[in-house]
């Protein structure tokens, strides 16, 4: 069984400063924190804040490729968690068929936001994951301001400077 969720925001882990994307269901009953990388957090935050840059980033490129191929993102699903690693699937409609592609949750969320596609989380993932305190899950103005500052100071040329 899957539960539809939306991106509630991005916060920084107070201990490690690692970004966390926060998913919540419509009722607010279920919250899912997923620790993600800085570049993926930036891609998600840029879409949440509707910040546009003059050249497409990776998730924008993927969206553009799908549009040119006349494929649509039907939904994404966060399907499992093993050893603190989350797993996701992107469900595409292409040529009248549904095609499923393995993905990192952060990438699938960034794509779902760009394509206005629903995000679903397996109930078993919610049960396995540690629920976080509601206070720390809130997308506070302080976190929003911190992410706005980070994004405003990003130069698109900086993306080529980070080694993977």
Q: What is the pLDDT of residues 76-128, one digit of tens each?
A: 999 999 988 999 999 999 999 999 999 999 999 999 999 999 999 999 999 88
pTM recorded for the entire structure: 0.78
Question: What is the per-residue pLDDT for 163?
Answer: 43
Q: What percent of the chain has pLDDT over 90?
A: 63
Torsion of CA 75, 107, 114, 67, to 10 degrees: -80
pLDDT higher than threshold 60 for residue 133: no
- Count other Cβ atoms within 10 Å, centred on residue 61: 11
pLDDT higher than threshold 90 for residue 32: yes
pLDDT higher than threshold 70 for residue 136: no
> How confident is the model over 41-64, as a mean pLDDT?
90
Dist. CA 101–CA 36, nearest whole Å:
19
- Decide if 75 contacts 120 (C-beta within 8 A): yes
Superfamily of domain 2-161: Bifunctional nuclease domain (3.10.690.10)
- Decide if 21 contacts 109 (C-beta within 8 A): yes
Higher-pLDDT residue of 23 and 129 is 23
Bridge pairing between strands 2-12 and 19-25: antiparallel
Q: What percent of the chain has pLDDT over 70?
A: 79
Higher-pLDDT residue of 153 and 79 is 79
pLDDT higher than threshold 50 for residue 28: yes
3-state secondary structure of 62: helix
Dist. CA 17–CA 38, nearest whole Å:
10
């Amino acid at each position: 069984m899957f539960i539809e969720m939306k991106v509630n925001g991005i916060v920084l882990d107070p201990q490690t400063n690692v970004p966390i994307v926060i998913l919540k269901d419509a009722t607010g009953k279920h919250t899912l924190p997923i620790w993600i990388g800085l570049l993926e957090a930036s891609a998600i935050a840029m879409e949440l804040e509707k910040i546009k840059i003059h050249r497409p980033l990776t998730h924008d490129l993927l969206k553009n490729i799908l549009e040119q191929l006349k494929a649509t993102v039907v939904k994404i699903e966060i399907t499992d968690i093993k050893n603190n690693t989350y797993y996701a699937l992107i469900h595409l409609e292409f040529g009248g068929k549904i095609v499923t592609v393995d993905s990192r949750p952060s990438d699938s969320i960034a794509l779902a936001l760009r394509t206005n596609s629903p995000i679903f989380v397996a109930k078993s993932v919610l049960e396995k994951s540690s629920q976080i305190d509601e206070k720390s899950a809130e997308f506070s103005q302080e976190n929003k301001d911190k992410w706005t500052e980070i994004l405003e100071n990003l130069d698109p040329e900086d993306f080529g400077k980070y080694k993977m």
